[in-house]
Structure 1
Amino acid sequence: MNDSKIMKRGENMKWAELTLTTEREAMEAVSNLFHESGAGGVVIKDPKIVPQLDEDELWQDPQKLEKHAEHSLIDRVYVMAYLPWDEELSNKLSTIRERISDMENYGLNVSANDLNVSKVDEDDWSEAWKEYYQPVNVNGITVRPTWTSPDNNEQTTIWLDPGMAFGTGTHPTTIMCISFLKQYLQGNEKVIDLGCGSGILSIAAAKLGVEKVFAYDIDSVACRVAGQNANLNEVRDLIDIKRGDVKKQVVEEKADVVVGNLISDIIISLVPNIKYMMKENAIFIGSGIAVNKKEAVIDEFNSHGMEIVAEETSGEWIALVVRN
């Protein structure tokens, strides 16, 4: 996908807004599907990520109370994507619906019947990003969209172009990964980033002083976007981005830290590969683990002689630090 398809600010184009309601564990698979289909941007909207409100404030404002109650009952996310409204759209939508149906074979609870398509103007699309992408601070690291201005007291800033690939820093799984990177990286390490997406974790590691990051993704669009964001943050020389499936190819690099914001089943399937990539006493930082899959993930690491050394929970998600 070329840059003109990613974002054409100067033209009032028409876009197809795709919205798929699905369970959290399927969101990355759906996001990757949308990217592979040529999406000009993907938004993951999680209704459970809402501000924590004071109890007195809730009871004094019936509208806030009602909205808070609605959020607490919702256990699904909305994955939204934007495709150009052109002659290729019909074929792309047919392929997307077929691929969504195929996902059920991998145990993901997702249905093509839940895919909604609407037509939006370029101006509406451009403004929509500003609603969903706001700066977020994680232990002194601020992830910031490119249209905003940094605060003077920011220690480390990661700049991201928000309309391109999965991983914006706003989701709990990404936040927990960044937090653990900040905690465990001392400087001069070699890091492997599995499923790099937008490149956010690779960029965070680079800005925390590592020697080198080897970033992998199966999606060519994600690899391109990760490179663009690395250039934007002036750390491209520290990040080696490769397209490929690490389960099917030998990764020659040995890392001090391996990080992956991946769904539970993918982490479980990659445990032997992850162990092969790690130096002795190295750590793996893994997020995207659903609460109900925690024990299965831990058992798989333990069966390969690896030890869980830290754990963090945010809502329905868990992040683990595993030592080789």
Structure 2
Amino acid sequence: MAWIQLTLTTKEDYGRQLGDILMANGAQAVTYRDAKDAPIFEPGPGEVPLWELTQVTGLFPAETNMTPVVSNLAKVSFLQKPLRYKTDQLEDKDWEREWMDNFKPMDFGNGLWIVPSWHQPPHADATNILLDPGMAFGTGTHPTTSMCLRWVAQTDMQDKTVVDFGCGSGILGIAALKRGARHCVGTDIDQQAILATHENAALNGVAEKFDAFLPEFAPSEPVDIVIANILAGPLQELAPTLLNYLKPGGQLALSGILARQADDVMAAYAPDVEFAPVQYVDEWCFLHGTRQK
């Protein structure tokens, strides 16, 4: 079946309302994404992830007459005048095949690869993590996850204990375990992420070494390495919690941070953590440091 895709941009306060308007005008589905490439995050049950400027897209059957739809949208008070929108024709194609073709094996250095299950690993003797894109975020494609994986690939994980805080798909904890870590505890506020982590750990043969919990049930024993790829605000608020997880001399890896937020995040961990130079990819950064006491 072919489709018409109608996309508009509005302020975050109106994103959900615009989605409802599109559905009322015949859209079969509505998706939301950031208009400025901010990070995707895990919404709570019933929540819609919105950003300062939210791009709202409605999917309409190809036979839809879009003229009255656009006319109705032009009357919406919170949308820019004259109305600015974009329409795209989506071909009738095998969307599942198209989706699968977009995900290729990814190399993160030092022999660490993320490989979708439908691909053969490019190097059979490498550290190959089998991971399919799914409901829980974290497949290595975003710069924040990529920087974390590159750090794991070049860090001595042998016999280390690890906390993967905000584990999502479990990708970072699995990477640490497959690089030699002895045990990993994952935590996430989303039950779906906990299930995805358990499934992915089993797929990669590390289930017996990877325990994942909702935060209220997670053990609190100090570990050698804490990795947290979430967002700058929570990283600052949760600094005492993350420091409690970390042994003196342990290593802390933080991401999900915009470059302009780096100083504020590091300040939240001072003077307990001595940070190495900040690493940057585009507008994102990665922080790594050692606990001093």
Shift of 1:298: 1.6
Deviations 1:89-131 (A, max 9, x none): xxxxxx54xx44xx6xxxx5254xx322326999744134224
Residue 238 of structure 2 corresponds to residue 270 of structure 1? yes
Among candidates 128, 133, 138, match of residue 162 of structure 1:
133
Once residues 307 and 233 of structure 1 are traced to their aligned partners in structure 2, the CA distance between those partners, rounded to angstroms, is: 33
My pick for the range that moved more, 124-133 or 200-209, is 124-133
Higher relative contact order (CA 8 A, sep 6+): 1
Letter of the 1:320 counterpart: L
Shift of 1:266: 1.4
Letter of the 2:200 counterpart: N
Shift of 1:185: 2.6
Residue 96 of structure 2 corresponds to residue 150 of structure 1? no
User: What TM-score do you get using the length of structure 2 for normalisation?
Assistant: 0.72
Q: Which runs of 5+ in 1 are unaligned?
A: 1-14, 38-94
Greater Rg over alpha carbons, structure: 2
User: 2:276 aligns to what?
Assistant: 309
Quickly say closer, same or farther: Cα 1:299–1:183, change in 2 above 3 A: same
Once residues 143 and 168 of structure 1 are traced to their aligned partners in structure 2, the CA distance between those partners, rounded to angstroms, is: 8
Once residues 181 and 60 of structure 2 are traced to their aligned partners in structure 1, the CA distance between those partners, rounded to angstroms, is: 44
User: 2:229 aligns to what?
Assistant: 261
Residue 144 of structure 2 corresponds to residue 173 of structure 1? yes
Deviations 1:209-244 (A, max 9, x none): 111000001111111111111111111111001122
Deviations 1:18-71 (A, max 9, x none): 24234444x333xx12xx55xxxxxxxxxxxxxxxxxxxxxxxxxxxxxxxxxx
Could you say what secondary structure the match of 2:175 adopts?
A: helix
Among candidates 230, 249, 253, match of residue 281 of structure 1:
249
User: 2:268 aligns to what?
Assistant: 300
Residue 52 of structure 2 corresponds to residue 109 of structure 1? yes
Letter of the 1:28 counterpart: I
Once residues 177 and 291 of structure 1 are traced to their aligned partners in structure 2, the CA distance between those partners, rounded to angstroms, is: 15
Partners of 1:194 and 1:261 within 8 A in 2? yes
- Counterpart mapping for 1:85-234 below 5 A: 95-96=46-47, 99-100=48-49, 109-111=52-54, 114-118=55-59, 124-139=94-109, 140-152=111-123, 154-234=125-205
Quickly say closer, same or farther: Cα 1:307–1:22, change in 2 above 3 A: same
User: 1:244 aligns to what?
Assistant: 215
Could you say what secondary structure the match of 1:307 adopts?
A: strand
User: What TM-score do you get using the length of structure 1 for normalisation?
Assistant: 0.66
Letter of the 1:168 counterpart: T
Shift of 1:259: 0.2
Partners of 1:129 and 1:163 within 8 A in 2? no
Shift of 1:309: 2.3
Q: Which runs of 5+ in 2 are unaligned?
A: 1-27, 62-90
Partners of 2:105 and 2:122 within 8 A in 1? no
User: 1:79 aligns to what?
Assistant: none
Deviations 1:168-213 (A, max 9, x none): 1122111111111122234111100011111110110110111100
Among candidates 28, 35, 58, match of residue 40 of structure 2:
28
Partners of 2:212 and 2:218 within 8 A in 1? no
Provide the aligned C-alpha RMSD in A: 2.5
- Counterpart mapping for 1:1-16 below 5 A: 16=29
